Structure 1
């Protein structure tokens, strides 16, 4: 009998949510996602130490400005790890624009161009890369511009229907609605435990998938931020699912049938009217969970990036 991981792959493309190359070789995902938190974790992996030293040596020889050196080191390390990942997987790697740029459209676009250029220097074409941006109004507008330039994007930290709608309107290639962080918020607020079918995070992502299907948006929906395999299996049939190594291992070690929970059954309805900025901000503002988790997610990624910068600075001496 196939494992639940193999069975799941019949319905959803499996994406590795890690910077661990060994985990990717073991579970054979199609794509991989990274973020500042995962790059920070990868900093300690034995397999990346030579790459870190090489990256820091390159930066040290190019500029004497300490902050510029650190900024370049973060970008180059992210791209260097992403390039190694691209050598292991058949699909695409997502690389994140710094969280501190989440409310600056022009700076986000400029950073995306820099990351794509760094990948190009390593022989990794833009068709193998997704630029990750926070699903703020400014991040979505940056993605809209980048998509028109042929640079495809992954919009992350997505917690509200308004965020999803705005991404659909902008023609974003892929969105990552979060499951676990949504459920975390509701569990804290209500004190309840949720079965997978009643899970608020699962229901949120199912609704995003339904809107994408019913109105024939081209955007790929990738469920993210899972806490349990039950949440993952409850979204079987979602276009893509990005899963941590621990949960990949659990799925790979479990036998049993996996049933499709999400089907592409849209009837080709006329698309919804695009959201303007005021409507987007009001719709997102009305969702207390989404407001809390977006702000918290940006702060968390920014804090992890700052810690990575400090560790790079200490290592450079």
Structure 2
């Protein structure tokens, strides 16, 4: 039976947006609750013909927090070369490394060079354990994609949190592939350090029909109150 995660009372869950859209990042930042950004090659592709390094720099200038930028090489030397180049873009850049054999090797080497890393495409607790032992700063379990194959994405987050707490790993658990507000809620309850989500999902966290109904009622009552005051003043 899985035990409840031991959550550090001093920690605060962080919210990242999973996008490369500068307008979305600006709007999320203006809300005052944005802690960072995650990107990947697919998200950058959606922005059209942009210079990748310049675009990552532009993101870093908007948000005061970690910005994950992913390597595209799959061999050790290639990942190291790309990782060092990404690191030079901005002090906020965190290098995303895929969870493969050469990726584990690159995580260790980049850690020894004091380059922060986010180990991505995690789908099992054993993968997450290897990434933590290699010195990853973040591990990104893809909960939505696991749910897609009728497995339990949040259960994976719970297991990783328990393993990291039990063995005192410093790696932060970054819940990724979040699809809806329930994923965010359950990731928070599971003890994830970070939840990264599409901008639309971030906005959906605000929505509740009773909030809308209550605000509509309050505003209607306020208008009735003002009309009554005006009428009373007119009679006087």
TM-score by structure 1 length? 0.58
Deviations 1:168-212 (A, max 9, x none): 11111111111000010127xxxxxxxxxxxx0011111111111
Aligned to 1:166: 130
Match of 1:233 among 168, 172, 185: 185
Shift of 1:92: 1.4
Largest Rg, 1 or 2: 2
1:94 aligns with 2:83: no
- For residue 37 of structure 2, give the secondary structure of its aligned residue in structure 1: strand
Shift of 1:115: 2.4
Q: How does 1:1-317 map to 2 (within 5 A)?
A: 11-28=12-29, 29-43=34-48, 52=50, 77-98=51-72, 101-102=73-74, 104-117=75-88, 119=89, 124-125=90-91, 128-186=92-150, 200-236=152-188, 237-254=191-208
Question: Which range is displaced more, 221-230 or 246-255?
Answer: 246-255
Distance 1:115 1:11 in 2: 27
Moved over 4 A (4+): none
> For the structure 1 residues 254 and 24, does the alpha-carbon distance in structure 2 shift closer, same or farther, using more than 3 Å as the test?
farther
Q: How many residues align?
A: 194
TM-score by structure 2 length? 0.77
Deviations 1:77-110 (A, max 9, x none): 2221111111111101111100xx22x1122111
- For residue 62 of structure 2, give the secondary structure of its aligned residue in structure 1: coil
Q: Tell which has more relative contact order, 1 or 2 (C-alpha 8 A, sep 6+).
A: 1
More strand per residue: 2
More helix per residue: 1
Contact 2:157/2:175, CA 8 A, preserved across alignment? yes
- For residue 146 of structure 1, give the secondary structure of its aligned residue in structure 2: helix
RMSD between superposed Cα atoms in Å: 1.8
- Stretches of structure 1 that go unaligned for 5 or more consecutive residues are 1-9, 44-48, 53-76, 188-199, 257-317
Distance 1:146 1:13 in 2: 24
- Stretches of structure 2 that go unaligned for 5 or more consecutive residues are 1-10, 211-236
Deviations 1:40-99 (A, max 9, x none): 1122xxxxx7xx3xxxxxxxxxxxxxxxxxxxxxxxx2221111111111101111100x
